[in-house]
Structure 1
Amino acid sequence: MLMRAVVQSGPGGVGTLSISMVEKPVASAGQLLVRVMAAGLNRADIVQREGHYPAPEGASPILGLEIAGVVEAVGGPSRFKAGDAVFGLLQGGAYADYALLDEALAIPKPDSMSWAEAASLPEVWMTAWLNLVDVADLQAGERFLVHAGASGVGAAAIQLACLLGAEAVASASADEKLDFCRELGAVQAFNARREPVFSAQIKAKGGVDVILDPVGGSYFRENLACLKPDGRLVVIGIMGGRSAELNLGLLLVKRLRIMGSTLRSQPLAVRERLARALEQVVLPAIAAGKARVTLDSIYPLSAVADAHLYMEDNSNLGKVVLDLSQVMQM
């Protein structure tokens, strides 16, 4: 059987994207075939579209890493059944009417959440948990800085830091985004475009213990300068360049740790553990009003190019999601 999917003519801009009919996938053991109702957009989708972030071996070449939808079929014995509402993280294939979701990564969708809200959660909250809890070991009472704080990951990271009892600081590229970061719990926020030398004002407040950075090269020197002794820098992106000069003296004197991290390449067992953290810790926090869904905008599948351009322009406060719930005539 055929289904709609966003396909690509080759690496490049949004002009390479189009909607075509492709073969519908079939669930094998340990997988759920899900009728996709909403799919989240991520910066990784843009980088993959441009040809710089290929899908892992065996993953769908179709863009998209997170979905919410209805189970249509199960590949063998399962805790889920056809008709169940679920959401979860993929390694590819979300921009389509149907996608395969590893059962280990599937999370029951709360009735109180819309499809779009559920689809906005997996990638950003699992990324935040991986890097703040597992990689950086952020502790209660520590001070935490996240760059691009108004992005999907940034918004989740600010809230998770607060849930962990840490103090959150954020950078962003516009004053509106700084207000958004403060609303989420950041006690200090600064405009990184207006204040490219940010270490002085961070150090004036005592520095930070942990930094989560999707920017990379252009922020590297400032990041090291504002870290406290025994500070940890976790780099999760290179939007600001892949090269930087490392002051080894500073690294030694301050006993700093610099770590690189990606979610997509993690083993299934790690991703499963992160999915359980989302299910058992984050969802109850949202239900209790201690955290919130940060859904910026919803685009129909037919406007996937516009959605990509909107995210590339860094206009979003939180998550951008594609709506696939409406059947579109081809």
Structure 2
Amino acid sequence: MRAVRVSEEGEPEHMTIGEVPTPSPGPNEVRVKVHATALNRADTFQRRGHYPPPEGASSILGLEMAGVVEEAGEGVIDWQEGDRVFSLLAGGGYAEQVVVHKDLLMAIPPGLSMRDAAAIPEVFLTAYQALHWLGGVRRDHNVLIHAGASGVGTAAIQLAREAGAHPYITASAPKHDVCRDLGAEATIDYESENFADRIAEITDGDGVSIVVDFIGAPYFHQNVEVLAPDGRIIQLATLGGSTVTEVSLRALMAKRAQLLTSTLRDRSLDYKVQLTQEFASDVLPTFIDGQLRPVIDSTYDWTDVADAHRRMENNDNAGKIVLEVVS
């Protein structure tokens, strides 16, 4: 089969389409013909040599896909050849074929295209885990979502809104309209505004119950400042740096704050299965009637993968960047 190969770690132009062995499904696995995949920050980090795949995972880039079942392995009875499916992956999405554990597959809802389906798994499962499993989001919670126009950010806005919470976001000003259209009740320009001051104004000093953050060190002290009592910071990445200086434990204790960190790619199979199946049961039906929707910034033919990666690394996208795999 063909797949995106990284000839050497570094710049986007080091990615090419080349021949690799076609994977075969083992017991409880399914081989899927990939129609579309989507970009995630982890892909750009892995390409540069900073984020190796978990042990046993495919070294091919790509953490999600949508496609059609081609072959079911031993013990698989729930999926048949021709079924339209999509899934979270630990790797392997930038390819014509991928093997997935049967319990990680979800049926693509009626009316949803392959392009749309490929833009859902990584960001919506990450946002669902952050808000529901870690954040304990409730009706009327104030929720601050940093990088609100990112893939996970756009998913988190919608999930917070559907939970009856009040989503507020930070993003550059040109991306605010996208966030407001999804349900953000307040938008903050991180380039020109102090988000801690704005949150104090927006909430009349009450603060937020949940902060979902991808930036890390530069935002840490302000994240603590904006928390309401018993608030939670959900740290999902450290794009701005990972070392925080002069941390005051007293400031955290004064808020009875919780700092919760998480990754998803290296979680156990059982964890991912539970998360996927809960999401499929509780959330996936809302995509059918349009209550939730993937936000797609742009679509590229997978042969133009280098251009797609440049767009993400330049922070030009608002929402997901999708690759259509033509075979």
TM over 0.5: yes
Q: Which residue type is aligned with residue 144 of structure 1? A: V
Q: Which residue type is aligned with residue 255 of structure 1? A: R
Of 142-151 and 275-284, the range deviating more from structure 2: 275-284
Q: Which residue type is aligned with residue 213 of structure 2? A: D
CA distance in 1, matches of 2:13, 2:163: 42
Is 1:220 matched with 2:217? Answer: no
Counterpart for residue 203 of structure 1: 200
Counterpart for residue 20 of structure 2: 22
CA distance in 2, matches of 1:48, 1:277: 29
Contact 1:38 1:116 (C-alpha < 8 Å) held by counterparts: yes
Of 85-94 and 102-111, the range deviating more from structure 2: 102-111
CA distance in 2, matches of 1:68, 1:203: 42
CA distance in 1, matches of 2:39, 2:156: 17
Counterpart for residue 4 of structure 1: 2
How big is the shift at 1:281? 2.5
Ranges in structure 2 where 5+ consecutive residues have no aligned partner:
none
Counterpart for residue 96 of structure 2: 97
SS at match of 2:238: coil
SS at match of 2:20: strand
- TM, length-normalised to structure 2: 0.96
1:1-330 counterparts in 2 under 5 A? 3-78=1-76, 79-173=78-172, 175-195=173-193, 197-204=194-201, 205=203, 206-245=206-245, 246-324=247-325, 326-327=326-327
Ranges in structure 1 where 5+ consecutive residues have no aligned partner:
none
CA distance in 2, matches of 1:242, 1:50: 18
Identity of aligned residues (%): 42
Residues 228-267 of structure 1: CA deviation (Å, up to 9, x unaligned): 1111001111111111122211011111111111111221
CA distance in 1, matches of 2:308, 2:283: 26
Number of residue pairs the alignment of both structures matches: 322
- TM, length-normalised to structure 1: 0.95
Contact 2:110 2:288 (C-alpha < 8 Å) held by counterparts: no
CA distance in 2, matches of 1:155, 1:312: 18
CA distance in 2, matches of 1:110, 1:188: 31
Contact 2:109 2:285 (C-alpha < 8 Å) held by counterparts: no
Q: CA RMSD in A?
A: 1.1
Of 270-279 and 204-213, the range deviating more from structure 2: 270-279
Q: Which residue type is aligned with residue 199 of structure 2? A: I
Q: Which residue type is aligned with residue 174 of structure 2? A: E
SS at match of 2:283: helix
